[in-house]
A = this chain, B = another copy of it.
Amino acid sequence: MRISELSRVTGVPVATVKYYLREGLVPPGRATGATQAQYDDSHVLRLRLARALVQVGGLSVAAARDVLTSLDGAGDSLHRVLGAAHSALPPRIEEDREPTRARSLASSWGWQVHPEAPALRQLEHALRALDDVGASANDERLAQYAEAAHRVAEVDVAGVPTTSPEEAATAVVIGTVLWEPVLLALRRLAQEAVSAESLGRP
């Protein structure tokens, strides 16, 4: 397909497609003339992923290029794709201290996670914020949260397509970044529903 068709199929404006091509987020097409090139389905997938990273993940173009490069190196292991995506996606936690409590919690739940997984620092940071306002998280509530998070994660991982590493990566990026607000909105709605159930409307 021509660049106009690539733009139409993905909904990404031609100017943005050209920008991503120039910046190396999307590999060049097969040249069919001095100013023309042909693109295929692999470009469609890569373009969707690049857009998801930049517009949804909020990554800079340079950061998105790094992610795409690391995904290319991840081969077809979904586990590695997930790791590369998690490492690249926000939030970036500025946390020097070791995620000691997070590691010990994960291990107490039997979760097999890499000791340097970025989500461990993310969890440690969130737990410290609770400590700071004098509302430290207790292990029981954390275990209940962990159980719910595990159910959600089962749905997430089961939903990742295994057709190609690129489709898997796109699904992981979208699932991580775009399903987070869904989960948070659902939690608040559920809080209202539970509070209505248990306390009744005034």
Interface of A with B (CB < 8 Å)?
10-11, 48, 51-52, 55-56, 77-80, 82-83, 86, 91, 102, 106, 109, 111-114, 117-120, 122-123, 125-127, 129-130, 132-135, 137, 141-142, 144-157, 159, 171, 174, 176, 178-202
Q: Which residues of B contact A111 (CB under 8 A)?
A: 189-190, 192-193
A189 and B119 contact, Cβ closer than 8 Å, known pairs A133-B51, A181-B126: yes
Interface of A is mostly: helix
Closest Cβ of chain B to A101, distance in Å, is 12
| Copies of this subunit | 2
Of B52, B141, B186, the residue contacting A123 (CB under 8 A) is: B186
Closest Cβ of chain B to A3, distance in Å, is 19
Of B82, B91, B201, the residue contacting A79 (CB under 8 A) is: B201
Contact at A181–B122, with CB atoms within 8 Å?
A: yes
Q: Give the docked Cα–Cα distance between A186 and B11 (Å).
A: 33
Subset of 20 A-B contacts with CB under 8 Å: A51-B133, A79-B195, A79-B200, A80-B202, A82-B195, A86-B192, A119-B186, A122-B184, A126-B179, A126-B181, A130-B174, A137-B179, A144-B155, A148-B149, A149-B186, A149-B189, A150-B194, A153-B191, A153-B194, A154-B194
